[in-house]
Structure 1
Amino acid sequence: MGSFKGHVVPGSLFLIIGVWHMWSSVVRYVSNPKSFRVRAWNPVPGFDGKFMYMELYVVAIGSFIDLCIELLYSTHLRFFVNGVLNPTHMNNFEHSGMLLMFFIFGVVALLSQKTRYLPLPEGALCLIVASAFCVEYLLFYFHSTAHKGLEGYYHLLLVILIALCIISSVTGALFPTSFPMDLSCGISITLQGLWFYQTAFTLYGPMMPDGCHLKEDMISCQSNDSEVRGELFANLQLFALVFGVFFTVGGSYIFASSRYGHSDLKALQTSENGVNRY
């Protein structure tokens, strides 16, 4: 993943799934707040059910394609050198393990929903996807400790976003009727996808901070001041992404409530406001 494309491809998958999860969570809640339930995945309505499992297919197929790129294409099938794992492609092997977990989640969820051989409750699926995020967290945590300077700082912020994905997924399994928990999961996944994009454009694209440059797959800065400015710039970028996502969620909620809002929604909000006043 140490390239522009290597960050954009997984970032696109996370971004698509995250935005869809946010929108679906909002629509399901405003449509019927009393029967709302946390979901590890969201079906696509309409089209006579032909695209109902589209999200799971995107997860399974997308992660499988990226897995093949990391494990087969990038390594050129040179898995072993002198009887041991090829040290040149250890990063590719690590990334493959992370992608394998998301592929397993997609396949398990499809088997659970489309067959009678693996009937799992929604909470179990939430824990499975949390396990996939845990593997991703460990991968990038050790990446962030191995990478130094500005590159390590961008990885550290990514690790924080992945931790939010883990927390929201586990909490969603523990509180299956909580709208904030379900929505926070979509927000965390969306931010993770956006941060992959931001990392690609900053470290491997046209947004490299002044005084820093990419040389031989390494990010180096001319001085400590340049590195600090780059880290402050990263903080500003993350703040802008968080602000944009929350602004989008707010706009989506207003639009969805005006178009799909259930009669119970206003009554529920009124009763909650009355309780808060006391």
Structure 2
Amino acid sequence: MGNFKGHALPGTLFLIVGLWWAGKFSFWYATRRNKGAGRLTSRATQRRLEVIEGSVILSFSMIGMLAEQFAVGGPRLHLYDYASQHWDQLMNWQHATMYLFFGLAGAVSLTVHATEAAPLALDRMMLGIAFFTEGFLFLYHLHGRTMLDVHVHQLLLYAIFGGALTAFLEVFHRGNVLLELLRATLCLLQGSWFWQIGFVLYPPSGLAEWDQKDHNNSMFITMCYCWHFAFALLTVTVVYCTVSWVVRARLKRTPPMEMGLLKTTDKEQESEDEI
């Protein structure tokens, strides 16, 4: 992660997951408000989507861990350099540990939704633990760095710990669309801010370098963080409105007789799930 690409990778992953959550939770809420939305609201379909989501998060986490370990200059699973008697590239190891906990969250989600071996709320609890671990690692990740470097990472912590708190609240308030969309917003904020950190600390060739000790840069980057947050809120709002409009438009085009058949099919499908 000590370069631009190392920040762009997790940033892209968080952006993808945040957009997915915004679309998924918006769709579920819109279909709950419109009971005739068809088979897409069945429990079996929702379970399949959760299994797919858990698989994707697990895959993304594995890619992140492998990239941190085996990319050019990575530690390649060597934790301690006995020749120099020092820890070997602990920054990469910390980032790999972050990916590890998100991988565990994906694995737990697969277990919860593909089997009956674990309680339903366990997926949200493990996701909250993954976010908390990410923030905990970054909190003790900044010793000896320049002022601007420390500041951009401290701002990132607000989004991380906010995501952890939201996920923990969902353990007790599952299905609350405000909490779900807030989690999606904070995930998007994380993703876009990882990209911003990459541009600030490791600007691509051709771009001017930032003065790491200039207080004005610190003031600007704080304001820039608020812009990122506003952009994340706007993005989730647009996704929510678009999904709601599509669901309502589909219901208007569905003939009443077909609507009744879809409702019957939903009830039969849900009965099979309960059995």
The TM-score bracket by the shorter chain reads 0.7 to 0.9
Superposition pairs of residues 1-278 of structure 1, within 5 angstroms: 1-33=1-33, 53-73=51-71, 74-82=74-82, 86-116=86-116, 118-121=117-120, 123-206=121-204, 212=211, 220-221=212-213, 227-261=214-248
Tell me how far apart the structure 1 counterparts of residues 210 and 241 of structure 2 sit (CA, whole Å): 43
2:166 touches 2:183 (CA, 8 Å); kept in 1?
yes
2:160 touches 2:186 (CA, 8 Å); kept in 1?
yes
Deviation at 1:114, TM superposition (A): 2.0
1:3 touches 1:200 (CA, 8 Å); kept in 2?
yes
Deviation at 1:52, TM superposition (A): 6.5
Give the TM-score normalised by structure 1: 0.76
Tell me how far apart the structure 1 counterparts of residues 125 and 34 of structure 2 sit (CA, whole Å): 24
Tell me how far apart the structure 2 counterparts of residues 8 and 70 of structure 1 sit (CA, whole Å): 13
- Partner SS for 1:125: helix
Q: 1:258 to 1:6 in 2, by over 3 A?
A: same
- Partner SS for 2:216: helix
Deviation at 1:132, TM superposition (A): 0.8
- Partner SS for 1:32: helix
Q: 1:85 to 1:255 in 2, by over 3 A?
A: farther
Tell me how far apart the structure 1 counterparts of residues 85 and 178 of structure 2 sit (CA, whole Å): 44
Tell me how far apart the structure 2 counterparts of residues 125 and 77 of structure 1 sit (CA, whole Å): 29
1:191 touches 1:245 (CA, 8 Å); kept in 2?
yes
2:50 touches 2:110 (CA, 8 Å); kept in 1?
no
Tell me how far apart the structure 1 counterparts of residues 51 and 236 of structure 2 sit (CA, whole Å): 24
Tell me how far apart the structure 1 counterparts of residues 89 and 210 of structure 2 sit (CA, whole Å): 30
Deviation at 1:136, TM superposition (A): 0.5
Residue type matched to 2:183 in 1?
C
Residue type matched to 2:232 in 1?
V
Tell me how far apart the structure 1 counterparts of residues 138 and 56 of structure 2 sit (CA, whole Å): 23
Tell me how far apart the structure 2 counterparts of residues 86 and 64 of structure 1 sit (CA, whole Å): 27
Deviation at 1:161, TM superposition (A): 0.8
Q: 1:103 to 1:84 in 2, by over 3 A?
A: farther
1:22 touches 1:249 (CA, 8 Å); kept in 2?
yes
Could you tell me which runs of 5 or more consecutive residues in structure 1 were left unpaired when the two chains were aligned.
36-42, 213-219, 222-226, 264-278
- Write out per-residue CA displacement over residues 225-266 of structure 1, whole angstroms, 9 at most, x where no aligned residue: xx2111122122212212222222222232222221499xxx
1:191 touches 1:242 (CA, 8 Å); kept in 2?
yes
Number of positions where the alignment pairs a residue of Structure 1 with one of Structure 2: 239
2:50 touches 2:109 (CA, 8 Å); kept in 1?
no
Q: 1:44 to 1:145 in 2, by over 3 A?
A: farther
2:70 touches 2:76 (CA, 8 Å); kept in 1?
yes
Residue type matched to 2:63 in 1?
I
Deviation at 1:208, TM superposition (A): 6.9
Residue type matched to 2:223 in 1?
L
Q: 1:161 to 1:70 in 2, by over 3 A?
A: same
- Write out per-residue CA displacement over residues 82-124 of structure 1, whole angstroms, 9 at most, x where no aligned residue: 29985241112222221111111111211222234x3331x22
Deviation at 1:5, TM superposition (A): 0.9
Tell me how far apart the structure 2 counterparts of residues 44 and 20 of structure 1 sit (CA, whole Å): 19
Moved over 4 A (4+): 43-46, 83-86, 206-211
Residue in 2 that maps onto 1:216? none
- Write out per-residue CA displacement over residues 172-197 of structure 1, whole angstroms, 9 at most, x where no aligned residue: 11212321111111111111011101
2:163 touches 2:187 (CA, 8 Å); kept in 1?
yes
Counting aligned pairs with the same residue, the percent is 24
Could you tell me which runs of 5 or more consecutive residues in structure 2 were left unpaired when the two chains were aligned.
36-42, 252-275
